Structure formats: structure tokens, C-alpha cells
Structure 1
Amino acid sequence: MDISTQSDFTENTAELEKPTTKRFLSNGIQSSYDIPVYGLDNGDFYSIHIPAITCISLSFISVLAVIVASFKTKSIKTFFSWTKSERLVVYLALCDGLLNISHALDHTQMIVTKNHVYPKELCTFYAFMLIEFVTAQNLMVSAVAFNVFVLIYFSKDLDFGKYDWHLLLYTFGIPCVGGTLAAIFDKLGPNGYSCYLDKVKGGVTIFFYTTAPLLAVLITNIILYGLTWKRIRSESRRLQNTLGQEVATTRSAIKAGKTMLLFVTAFFIQWWPLSLYGIWQLIAPVPLAVFQFVITFSNVGGVLNGIVYIIIRRRRTKMKQKKTMKKKEFQSIATICDGVKDSST
């Protein structure tokens, strides 16, 4: 996903300058439709859109694989009885999939027409989809990070409500309201590379819809991740040679916490470049190479989610194998004991 707060087009093709709404308006530019698509005049056009579509395609393939594999191993009828990690994989995959479809259409139309997305209403729709599903993923992973923190520190598993309605209302409702307001106040539109917040009309909205919330989420998740991982390490050492029901419960919570932290790790990998970009563009012009770096990471959410899914499946398989081995060992011991008992009689 190539969300940007990019800039006026300059003769220096290696840098992206910060947009200045007043400067645009003073030159008679009313919206981003009044400025050319970035890259057509300097050869950077395809170097932006081709990598984006490639990453989006890989992400979408991974999304399909995760969804098919998830429902192949378990019934959709029992979906809400799956573990939280298993349900989160599906939710995030759906977010990535829907985002991939709309964003791929966005980039494809620009490549074919070599122009901004028309009609304006279609660009607004693509922008709304971007806000909805990117923000939903950020909020969902934040909810996961907080859930793990509470689980490890207070041994309390947060209730997401029947059919996860608490989680779903929070993660999809907030961005829906935000995107709707941005559309009503005519802040959505082209930004030179795709459809998101119109860089001419957006002004301060761009900062409050992208840079500020993403940095807040990232910093919060880093703090929660660090505190949670520290407690997990200390608890794992303490329980290493301890037995008992309470210990078994704590160990179970630790395993669940480690699994859900995978989603937070994937979040860091996907979004830290965009956070860096947001800070950079507030201080100095951003090199195009940095922006291309952002494109690569922010568009591979489906791939990262797929990796998390594979790790979860492997851990579950190992746990089943250990249980099977313990069961066989117990049966063998029981058989030996029965043999000894029979021989003694």
C-alpha cells in the first residue's frame, strides 16, 4: 500500500517534497486532479506502480491460501469456537484481501490510463477502502497486543463478545466513521500515486489520518510488546521446573501470548517503514528510494499474515505430536504395570 503525504512535483526526480496546501491554492490548484501524475515526466511512473502491483499480487495469493487452508482444516460452522489466533488470522486475511483487490484496481487503472483515477467517485471509493482496511488492521493488532498484555500480567483473557462483535465493531467501526467524514468533507482523492487523501485538499487531515495514528499505534504496541515479552521470559524461567494446576494454566496463557505476539511482530515489519516515512517527510524531503521501500513492506501484509499462519500450524502440530508421544508413553507404562501385576498374582 503506497499511502503518502507526498509532495509537489519538482525537477529533482530523486526527492519528494512536503505538500503545502496554501502553495497549491495560491497557484490556482484546487485538487490533486489539477496536477500531473507523478513519474510520467521523469521515468519513475512504472518504478512506483509495477513493484506495488507485484507485492499486492503476492499478498493476495497468500491471502487465498490462508483462507482456504483455514476452512479446509476446520468447519466454518464452528468458526467462533476456534482459538483467538485462528480467528485473527482469518480476519486479517480478509482485511488484506479486500484491500489488495481495491488497491490493485487503483494501480492498474493508473497504469492503463497513465492518469489519475476517474471518475472522482471511484477514486473516493478506493480511498475509503484504503482507510477502512488499513486502519482496521492497525486497530485489530493493537487490540491483540493489549489482550496479550492483560493475559500475561493479570491472567485475564479479554472477552471479544458474542461473535467477536466487540472487536469487530471497534476495528471496523472507527475507520468507517473516519473514512465517511473524510469523504463528506471532500478530503479523499488522488495523491499522485494512488487514491487516498487528496494531497491538495487534505492538508492537516493527512497528518491526523496517517502519520499521527500510525505512530501512536506503533509506539503503543512496542511498549506493550516489550513489557509482555519481558514478563513471558521471567515467568517461563520461574515455571521451568515447577508442576501443578496453577502452573499449567500459566503455561497455557504464556503459549497463547507467544502465539498472539506473532501478529504484533508482523505489524512491526509491515508498518515501520511508513512510520519512518511519516517522520522523515515532516523534517526533510524524502528520497524516492525510501518511498519505494515503503511500497514493498506495506503491500505484503498478506504474505506476513501467511507466515504467521504457518508458524501457528507448525506449533500446533508439534504440540499434538508431544501429546501423542506422552499418551503412548503412559500406555506403555500402564501395560508394563499390568504385566507385573499379573505375574505377581
Structure 2
Amino acid sequence: MDNLTNISITSSELKDGYGYDLPVYGLDNGLFYYLHVPALLCILCSFTCACTVIILSFRHKDYRKFFFWTKSERFAVYLAICDGGFNTFHSMDHMQYVITKDHVRPIELCQFYGFMLAEFVAAQILMVNVIAINAFILMVFKKKINFGKYDWRLLVWTFGLPFVGSTAVAVTGQLGPNRISCYFDGVKAEIASIAFTTVPLLLVLVVNIVLYGITLHRIKIETISLQLGLQRRHACDKSKRAATHMSMFVCAFFIQWGPLALTLAWTLISNERPFVFYHIVTVFSNIGGCFNLCIYLIIRHTNNQNRHKSNEHSQMDSNEINAITHAAALHPNPRKTSIC
């Protein structure tokens, strides 16, 4: 995300009251390409990783049984869709800036880019928040959240609510160019940007940190506990694995959006921001797909290991049963034979 600049200009400098009144960032100081070229490279890498997650997911699992996959596997796909959508439209506005060295025109196109970015950014924020809550409830209360048939509750909340919010800001003319991208208009949408991005992102980040900390603490307690029976231990291990996988998504969210959250918090205090802020936010906010791919590969590797161990245990149990059966066949009289 690059919605970082809100410049103060006098009413005499306003021409049409939109972000087009603001100069394109970097053209006057030679930093234009230092901002947009790294952003495009990060977006390309993230988009490639997001597509890889989706392809590998459906290649190794039956797509017809998608809603019977584990929650972690479904979350990986949903977040890959968020990253892929975000990368697609964010690359378009960055590319147009690079080609034209000007704001994205016409205004309708820029507003469309802004609408799609608002949709996918908000969807990802809500999705990761749901993941954090789900992991917390799973470990602390030992309950599973019911997302409804075909995950309809989850999808309505994470994609439907942002759609309604994005539509509201779009019809009120709050979307448009800022100095470096299309998102919330750099002139008209200062309050909307705070209400739609700054406050929700900071709030979700704080909530996720708290839930993440409690969840990890609970996982640690469960791991060192030696008072569980074998059957209970197996069920507990499954819950811990699921919570650990979901916690990784939350951790990746911190890395991806933490710099933007800190920058937005800085924006509330001062309008002066060092250029390094732009670089940090540009890099980390645009490589979410790479984080998601790493998490997906870890989950897949862990699941394969657990499946392999489960098969080994099943084979051992089968061999033990066969040995007992064979011994019983050799000594049919239980009074003469004792089997320990």
C-alpha cells in the first residue's frame, strides 16, 4: 500500500478538488523510479507466489472437496486470492504511473483501481483477524468456529463487508489519486482514509498481537503438559498443529502490514515522513504472496509428515494385531497360553 501522503495545499492551489492537484511524488527530486520500480518487482514476485499457492493447492487436493480441506489449507487459498487481486490492480496503477509519469487518468479508471485495492486490502485484514480469533478460540476454549456451509459466513464477512464499504466511499467520490497510486483521494479523502484504513488496520493489528500472544502461550503450555492420556494427547496435538499453522498467517500479517500501520500512526502525528518509510512500506506491503507461499509449503510439509507418521503407526498396530492373531491360532487353548 502506498496511501501515505496527505499534503497541505491552499485553496488557491486547488484546481478540481481531486488528487490531481497534487504533484506526482519523486519527479521533482529524482526518486520517482526508486519508488515505482521496486514496487513493481515486489508485486510481480508476490503475484507469482500467490498463483503458485493456488495451483499447488488444487493440484494436490481434490477441488471438488475444497470445503472439506483443513481450515489452514482453505485460509491459504483465500489469502492467495486476496494477494493476487491486490497485486493485479496495484501493478496496473504503478505501471501506468511509470509509463506516463503522471497520475492515472481518466478519473474513473483510477477510482476503479482504488475500489479494487480497498476491497482486497480490507478483505485480507478481516481474513487474518478471523484466523487469529479462530486459533485463539481453538486453543483457549477448545471450540471450532462454524463458518457455515461452503464457508459462507466467513466469505460474507471478509469479502462482503469490504465490498459494501468500498462502494460507500466510491459513490461519495472518496477514491482517486494520491501522489503515488490510486486509492483514497489525496485531497478529498483524508477522513475516509483514516476511518477505512488507518483505524481498522491499527485496531486489527493490536487485537491480533494480543490474540497471537495468548495463543502461543497456550500452545507452549499444551506442549509441556504431561498429564494427558494418549487419546486426548492425539486430539490436542491436532488442535496445536492447526493453531500453529493459523498463527503463522497472523505473524506474516504483522510483517506485511506492520510497517504501514506504524507509518499511518506517524501520519496522525506529523505530515513529515522520511523517504525510507516509502521504501519499507512499498517492499513489505507488496510481498504478501511470498509470505503466504512459505506458510503454505510449511503446512504442506507438516501435513505430509503427520500423514507418514500416521501410516507408520497404523502399520505397527496392524503388525501387532497380526502377531496376536497368529499366536492365538498356534495356541487355541487360552488356559495353556498367556499372551502379555
Following superposition, the deviation at residue 121 of structure 1 comes to 0.4
- Aligned counterparts of 1:99 and 1:141: Cα–Cα separation in 2: 15
2:229 aligns with one of 243, 265, 270: 243
Q: Determine the structure 1 residue equivalent to 2:178.
A: 191
User: Larger radius of gyration, structure 1 or 2?
Assistant: 2
* Preserved CA contact (<8 Å) 2:13 2:21: no
Counterpart-to-counterpart distance in 1, 2:11 and 2:70: 53
Output the CA distance in 2 between the equivalents of 1:53 and 1:33. 22
User: Which residue number in structure 2 is paired with residue 55 of structure 1?
Assistant: 42
- Which amino acid is 1:224 matched to? L
User: Which residue of the partner structure matches residue 338 of structure 2?
Assistant: none
Residue 5 of structure 1: CA displacement? 3.0
Question: Match for residue 85 of structure 2?
Answer: 98
CA distance in 1 between partners of 2:240 and 2:10 (Å): 54
Please tell me the residue identity of whatever aligns with 2:210. Answer: I
**Paired residue for 2:160, among 173, 180, 184?**
173
* Cross-structure match for 1:213: 200
Partner residue in 1 for 2:337: none
Q: In the alignment, what sits opposite 1:16?
A: none
User: How far did residue 242 of structure 1 move?
Assistant: 2.8
Taking the aligned partners of 1:214 and 1:77, their CA distance within structure 2 comes to 35
CA pair 314-332 structure 1, distance change in 2 beyond 3 A:
same
Alignment of structure 1 residues 97-176 onto 2, 5 Å: 97-176=84-163
1:222 and 2:209 matched: yes
1:270 is aligned with what amino acid?
Q
Stretch moving more, 68-77 or 334-343: 334-343
User: For the residues of structure 1 that align with 2:43 and 2:216, how far apart are their CA atoms?
Assistant: 31
> What residue ranges of structure 2 are gaps of 5+ in the alignment?
333-340
Per-residue CA deviations over 1:39-83 (Å, capped at 9, x if unaligned) read: 112111101110110000001111111111110111211111111
SS of the residue 2:176 aligns to? strand
Q: Distance in 2 between matches of 1:167 and 1:143?
A: 8
**Structure 2 partner of 1:83:** 70
Q: 1:13: which partner in 2?
A: none
Report SS of the residue matched to 2:105. Answer: coil
> How far apart are residue 142 of structure 1 and its match?
0.4
Describe the superposition over 1:303-335 as per-residue Cα deviations: whole angstroms up to 9, x where unpaired. Answer: 111011001001001101111222232334344
Contact 2:126 2:158 in 1 (8 A): yes
Q: Could you tell me how far 1:199 is from its partner in structure 2?
A: 1.2
TM-score by length of 2: 0.92
RMSD: 1.7
Which of 248, 253, 265 is the matching residue for 1:279?
A: 265
- Partners of 2:54 and 2:82 lie apart in 1 by 12
Q: Say if 1:5 and 1:206, in contact at 8 Å, map to a contact too.
A: no
1:198 maps to a residue whose letter is D
How many residue pairs get aligned? The number is 330
Q: Does 1:5 align with 2:4?
A: yes
Listed as ranges, the gaps of 5+ residues in structure 1 are 8-18
